[in-house]
Amino acid sequence: MSKLLEGKVALITGAGRGIGREHALMMAEHGAKVVVNDLGGDEHGGGGDLTPAAEVAAEIEGMGGQAIVNGGNVAKYDDAKAMIDQAIDTFGDINIVVNNAGILRDRMLFSLSEDDWDSVIGVHLKGTFGPSHHAAVHWRNKAKAGEETYGRIINTTSPSGIYGNVGQTNYGAAKAGIAAFSVIAAQELVKYGVTVNCLAPTAWSRMTAPLMGGEDAPEELRDKISPRWIAVIAAWLASPEAANVTGRVFDIRGETLGIAEGWHLGPSATQPDNPAELGPVIADLMSKARLNASMAGTDHEGPGFPGQSI
């Protein structure tokens, strides 16, 4: 088997379980040296245990690869820098950053606490910014020094963030922010030879299992949306073959791979300067505007979707 990532160095956050684990194993299988980051907390962000990260690193070493463990908290700026520094100090460079770490605190808006909001935004959004920022500084400095630069950032959004899902205003807002962050960072880093892309996965993991039937879910479903499918596109995006792919959000649902197309301006009209006269204008715009997507990323069918009629 040809190896797409021979000699490359990857940091993968949240790599102790689920999708992150599959990213780490797949990239190692394709020749990457891996920094396996995982705080080892539960799905709500509590606790800490390096055992899952250490087990993944051992699995990589068992297949003949190279890996080291990092237990830093992605939501902490200095911890994020330490992850990048550890990769460079150990393996000589950093080439790939996969921002995958995440937690859930699902509640309706009126039930969300400040800590529910801050914790989810911190791990997802700040936890994407920190490793990306410190890696970008490294790549920019290399480029300014005339050295060859190889940089790939692969972020993790969610259908909840780009399409919307009830009970996840905190999680969805963070994930939507990550998608926007990816598009803008791609524009900023392209001149340094760095690509930035984003994944919107639907996959079986400890975070999603309760939403899909938990232990009662059929084995066929678990296999169909195995997290390994998410690692396939991630490994390819990290490779030299993806040098001209940047600023994209990929929707992955098992074998099905698509590109999520972002906000586009729909129908428009001229506003009257009197708000009392605006009703017919809005009614006309609403009749022409495409409905918001469902969680499947497709148009809703039938009446009654909230916010789509007046």
List the catalytic residue out of 119, 158, 205, 239.
158
Instruction: Return d(Cα 119, Cα 106) in angstroms, integer.
Output: 12
CB neighbourhood size of 95 (10 A): 22
Instruction: Report the relative pairing of strands 194-202 and 249-253 from DSSP bridges.
Output: parallel
Instruction: Decide: 297 and 305 in contact? Cβ < 8 Å.
Output: no
List the catalytic residue out of 8, 81, 126, 175.
175
- Rounded to the nearest 10 degrees, the angle between the axes of helix 51-62 and helix 18-29 is 20
Cβ-in-10-Å burial (0-12, 13-18, 19+) of 133 comes to middle
Instruction: Report the relative pairing of strands 9-12 and 194-202 from DSSP bridges.
Output: unpaired
Residue 303 is classified by DSSP as S
List the catalytic residue out of 81, 119, 171, 205.
171
Which residue matches tokens 């394709």?
30
132 is catalytic: no
Instruction: Decide: 270 and 256 in contact? Cβ < 8 Å.
Output: no
* Three-state secondary-structure class, residue 273: coil
171 is catalytic: yes
Instruction: Decide: 34 and 120 in contact? Cβ < 8 Å.
Output: no
Closest C-alpha among 212, 202, 182, 204 to residue 194: 182
Which positions are annotated as active-site residues?
158, 171, 175
